[in-house]
Structure 1
Amino acid sequence: MRAAELSELAAFAAVARHKSFRKAGEERGVTASAVSHAVLNLEDRVGIRLLNRTTRSVSLTEAGELLISHLDPAFGEMAGALDALNRYRDTPFGKVRINVPNSIGPFVIGHVVGPLLKKNPNLQLEINATDRLVDIVEEGFDAGIRFGERVTEGMIALRIKPRIRLVVVGSPAYFETRPKPETPHELKRHLCIQNMFPSGARYAWEFEKDGQTVSFQPTGPLSLDDHELMMQAALDGVGLAYVWEPRAERAIASGKLVQVLDDWCQLEEPLYLYYPSRRHMSAGFRAVIEAMRAA
């Protein structure tokens, strides 16, 4: 098989995974038009339409489904063969793509990246930080990081550190005009910044103490989907914020923010590095797993 033909098949396989020419191009490091051109060449060569295309979506034809069912195992075998060469190298190589929630990324992998890349100079680490719920298989990631209750069923999950919690903070200036809440029920008398997912959905502030759980849904005038912006709004005296404790630690220690309801704020579910079961795991990905486990 010629290199051009193999490249066309690889381009088609990427589109089949992502159902998107743009995402397939990002994975392969080329433009969406280059991927589209490669797939068109493949279709012309085999004389069969493999993809259905509209302005909004891409889907596989029956012939495309048949082809990808044969290509996936074949590409897996090739990846395994190439990875077997790692025994002749000093360090792992290649790209590893990881998805991590933006709000907790610095606390989870920030201290891992430097030592990992220093130890493995041929490794390329691509980290996508977003609080959007991501299908790591569909979007071409090797692994993701989530709290336990959000890990997709059927995934291999490795528990990692740290275990963190969300806390309630406000500025000293804010508390000059309002008393500090002693229980979550008293939050109704406060201005509270609403927490949003990237989808726009709001999520409640969760509390627990002595077996009693309280779920509070803020109704304040400000809604944000970024914890840094929540921190800044709290520092500016806009209202109370519900943010990850490591993000607020320095401001609390310096007196710029005041933490309240400490005994009601409990640790979240454990964090996990999760990934699909696979027959061939690259040496680069194994290095990432080892680094996360050691951390």
Structure 2
Amino acid sequence: MKTSGLSELEAVLAVARHRSFRAAASEMSISTSALSHAVAALEARIGVRLFNRTTRSVSLSEAGAQFVQNVAPALSTIRDALEQAGSFRDTPSGTLRINTSTGAARQVMPVFIAFLQRYADMKLDIVTEGRLVDIVVEGFDAGIRLIEAVPQDMIAVPFGDRQRFAVVGSPEYFARHKPPRTPADLAAHRCIRSRMPGGSIYQWEFERHGEALRIDGDGALTLDEPGLMLAAARAGLGLAYLTEWNVSADLANGALVRVLEDWTPPLDGLCLYYPGRRHVPAGLRALTDMIHDYADANRKRSQTSRKRPARP
């Protein structure tokens, strides 16, 4: 969260993180010119150049690297103190920067909407990307990912139900191809392959009765976005491997058919996570409480639906 009165120091740290005035200005929601003037004013006041600038790159000078190393912890302490004092307000205020994936953001969107409706003085800056980033280094207050991907030194707040993957294809596709009964049968099928943010191809994961398999299926199409994979599967181009959340509507309306269901056990679901520290900003604490409430409500609805007797 950004705090007024520390703009020049915040500007230096943002440029140091991004190695770019444009990216740093975007993060701080100010113009590149305003950011450049803030950094230049600080450099003039202390009498040293903090950054080496060319038309193509920005790097810390020796003095700048030492300055950032000394200032970053102190600024963090000051920011926490200001946030802690601000927590005595009747309602939280400020901006929360959250890093997550596109699919996770779609699932958590109802909570984001409810949060902004309840706390009129809060702002959310949601950045979606496939790669897993260091939220501390990148200047985020929190992240939302699958629990298994969260670093162990973070505080994790579970959100929603456990997740399962599903292998799906269109009725048209299965009219032309015999449905697979085991993962090994995928060798005879066209698979819609998934490219990871780092460039590698994701191998489909299966498990049953203690037997675990990873399959790198063959196919003519490789994509890196779940919505595109879903559209390709609907069009009959092959089988897709996606979360149940992504395919539930298409399974319900018959646009897609699921196979190998007994080979895809549930996995731990999403969580909001943030660095462990003595003080949690009021806005983040309020969002955490709302996620707890949302998860509890979902759990109760799920328990009620399981107990409801079947209609005769």
Question: What TM-score comes out, normalization by structure 1 length?
Answer: 0.90
Evaluate the alpha carbon distance shift between residue 96 and residue 72 of structure 1 in structure 2; reply closer, same or farther with a 3 A threshold. same
Residue deviations 1:233-278 (CA, integer Å, cap 9, x gap)? 1111111111111111111111111000010012223433221233
Structure 1: 4+ residue segments shifted above 6 A: none
1:85 Cα deviation (Å)?
4.1
Alignment of 1:155 onto 2:154: yes
| Pairing of 1:61-140 with structure 2 (within 5 A) | 61-107=61-107, 109-140=108-139
The alignment partner of 1:202 has SS state of: coil
Distance of 2:245 and 2:13 partners within structure 1: 41
1:190 maps to what in 2? 189
Residue deviations 1:101-143 (CA, integer Å, cap 9, x gap)? 1123222x12212222222111111211221222212222111
The alignment partner of 1:215 has SS state of: strand
2:167 maps to what in 1? 168
- One-letter code of the match for 2:125? E
Question: Contact 1:18 / 1:140 at 8 angstroms: preserved in 2?
Answer: no
Which deviates further from its counterpart, 260-269 or 231-240?
A: 260-269
Alignment of 1:20 onto 2:20: yes
1:233 maps to what in 2? 232
1:69 Cα deviation (Å)?
3.4
1:204 Cα deviation (Å)?
0.5
1:206 maps to what in 2? 205
Question: Contact 2:104 / 2:145 at 8 angstroms: preserved in 1?
Answer: no
- One-letter code of the match for 2:202? Y
Question: Paired residues, what number?
Answer: 291
Distance of 2:162 and 2:56 partners within structure 1: 40
Question: Contact 1:21 / 1:35 at 8 angstroms: preserved in 2?
Answer: yes
Evaluate the alpha carbon distance shift between residue 151 and residue 32 of structure 1 in structure 2; reply closer, same or farther with a 3 A threshold. same
In the alignment, structure 1 segments of 5+ residues that lack a partner are none
1:56 Cα deviation (Å)?
5.2
Question: Contact 1:80 / 1:280 at 8 angstroms: preserved in 2?
Answer: yes
1:283 Cα deviation (Å)?
0.6
Question: What TM-score comes out, normalization by structure 2 length?
Answer: 0.85
1:5 Cα deviation (Å)?
9.1
Distance of 1:16 and 1:114 partners within structure 2: 32
Question: Contact 2:11 / 2:24 at 8 angstroms: preserved in 1?
Answer: yes
Evaluate the alpha carbon distance shift between residue 151 and residue 54 of structure 1 in structure 2; reply closer, same or farther with a 3 A threshold. farther
Evaluate the alpha carbon distance shift between residue 280 and residue 51 of structure 1 in structure 2; reply closer, same or farther with a 3 A threshold. farther
1:228 Cα deviation (Å)?
0.9
- One-letter code of the match for 1:14? A
Evaluate the alpha carbon distance shift between residue 123 and residue 133 of structure 1 in structure 2; reply closer, same or farther with a 3 A threshold. same
Evaluate the alpha carbon distance shift between residue 21 and residue 59 of structure 1 in structure 2; reply closer, same or farther with a 3 A threshold. same
Alignment of 1:48 onto 2:58: no
Question: Contact 1:5 / 1:42 at 8 angstroms: preserved in 2?
Answer: no
1:182 Cα deviation (Å)?
0.3
The alignment partner of 2:64 has SS state of: helix
In the alignment, structure 2 segments of 5+ residues that lack a partner are 295-312
Evaluate the alpha carbon distance shift between residue 20 and residue 153 of structure 1 in structure 2; reply closer, same or farther with a 3 A threshold. farther
1:54 Cα deviation (Å)?
4.7
Evaluate the alpha carbon distance shift between residue 93 and residue 230 of structure 1 in structure 2; reply closer, same or farther with a 3 A threshold. same
- One-letter code of the match for 1:82? L
